[in-house]
Amino acid sequence: MTILLSTLNARYTHASLGLRYLLANMGELQAQTRIQEFVIGAKTTDLVERILAHQPRIVGFGVYIWNVEETTKLVAMLKRVAPKLTIVLGGPEVSYETGEQEIARLADYVVTGWGDVTFPKLCGEILNGPKPLMKVHAGLQPPMGDIVLPYSLYSEDDIAHRTLYVEASRGCPFKCEFCLSSLDKTAWPFPLESFLAELESLYARGARLFKFVDRTFNLNVKTSLQIMQFFLDKIEANPDDPVYAHFELVPDHLPEALKETIAKFPAGALQFEIGIQSFNPEVQALVSRRQNNEKAADNIRWLCEHSTAHLHVDLIAGLPGEDVASFARGFDQLVGLGAQEIQFGILKRLRGTPIIRHTEPFGMVYDPYPPYTVLATNRVDFATMQRLVRFARYWDLVANSGRFANTTRAMLADAPFENFMAFSDWIYTKTDATHRIALDRLAKLVQEWLQLRGLDREEAAALLASDYAGKAGAPAPAPAAAVAPQRQVRHLAA
């Protein structure tokens, strides 16, 4: 092997789509190129040993916000024990503010942006000359039809045990300043016929779980309908062989034709990620987010009431100009709409995003280390932001997990944010922890909280017993969602 493509994934079930794109487009160098994926948390010396066992001449690393710190250590050690090894970096974390990063200083070359064409070209020059003089190489964006699709490179093990990431398009036409996609000029679709042929091939090989990474899946409704019809056809032809597909939707763009198609899917087959981020029009304007809030709310309500799709709706705390009261109103509104999961995130200052322009006017203070989370603003002080961070973690453990569905509704009552914040503050005083809380202990704490809020012991115990968490961790009933993530199955069983 001459070239090794590597990255540190967040977990084993994540198969790197980026590395497979690079390998698919290596051309004459493909036969000399291999992929070796790792998972964050591994011992650096072990990774170095495993990489060098292949005796590569070039190692290309995919660098992301979740792995940059560990990858920096890995690159530093590789350059010490194998100084003649050529290291090339790529990925969103090193594509912007490149000159400010230690990992870029340590590496030999950096490819910013699209790597499909530029990385193979750079490798050819490193191996065959003339040796490139520039360290940073801006990725060339080729016509979409010229990019070799990578899906045949998913192995049988990937198909059997991992989430398969796919994309019908790249880019995004929207300009939300907290998102790296705001730097794109538009969305670029792949040729639909060849993309559907790749899906067909994956399905024939046994793939049943597909996660689309398109930022705006429903932007082109005609294309969306054809892709969704692909999955409907599979389900209708083999109703006992379920398929699961995850899409990210633009919340205020759900025409009738798309609704009609969505309504045909059985439970456990569809999951939608919907970014609301904020319901405050002034905050939306500050961060250049165009969104018809009334239409977005109507569409979420329709999806909850007239489809079986599982909804993840995103909110971001810490946006410039938003205080806790404003965020709480948006949170309460989302709870009222009925989405199964509200993904409560804290703002992060991703490298290269325009959100940086608000730093001084709104007193934005960010953690200097990944993931660059906002620590305070002129509307939310540090102590309050920490309370929100804990709220988000406990919300995920209790509400989003699906283990406490009935109990959560009782806990929230008619003031969801206020009541759950009170619970969050209380449980933190009891545990001094937001992680590694065993399920049985969490259930006992929830019951104790319910009793403090006025339920007698028998009522609180009965409420918990009606939930997954009250069944001593027994498996949730399994509907026709055999390939759906376990958390979604819990929500379906609630």
**Distance, CA of 407 to CA of 349 (rounded, Å):** 35
Contacts of 234 (CB under 8 A, 6+ apart): 203, 241, 243
| SS3 assignment for 421-470 | HHHHHHHHHHHCCCCCCCHHHHHHHHHHHHHHCCCCHHHHHHHHHCCHHH
**What's the pLDDT at 46?**
98
- Closest by CA position to 297, among listed 342, 255, 336: 336
Strand 244-249 to strand 270-277: parallel, antiparallel, or no bridges (unpaired)?
Answer: parallel
Quick one: DSSP state of residue 185? S
| SS3 assignment for 227-246 | HHHHHHHHHHHCCCCCCEEE
**What's the pLDDT at 427?**
98
**What's the pLDDT at 320?**
98
What distance lies between CA 462 and its chain's CA centroid?
36
What does the chain come to in residues?
Answer: 494
The model's pTM is: 0.94
SS3 (DSSP) at 172: coil
What distance lies between CA 365 and its chain's CA centroid?
24
Per-residue pLDDT of the chain (494 residues; tens, 9 = 90+): 799 999 999 999 999 999 999 999 999 999 999 999 999 999 999 999 999 999 999 999 999 999 999 999 999 999 999 999 999 999 999 999 999 999 999 999 999 999 999 999 999 999 999 999 999 999 999 999 999 999 999 999 999 999 899 999 999 988 999 999 888 888 999 999 999 999 999 999 999 999 999 988 988 999 999 999 999 999 999 999 999 999 999 999 999 999 999 999 999 999 999 999 999 999 999 999 999 999 999 999 999 999 999 999 999 999 999 999 999 999 999 999 999 999 999 999 999 999 999 999 999 999 999 999 999 999 999 999 999 999 999 999 999 999 999 999 999 999 999 999 999 999 999 999 999 999 999 999 999 999 999 999 999 999 999 998 777 445 444 444 556 677 777 776 65
**What's the pLDDT at 184?**
85
Quick one: DSSP state of residue 24? H
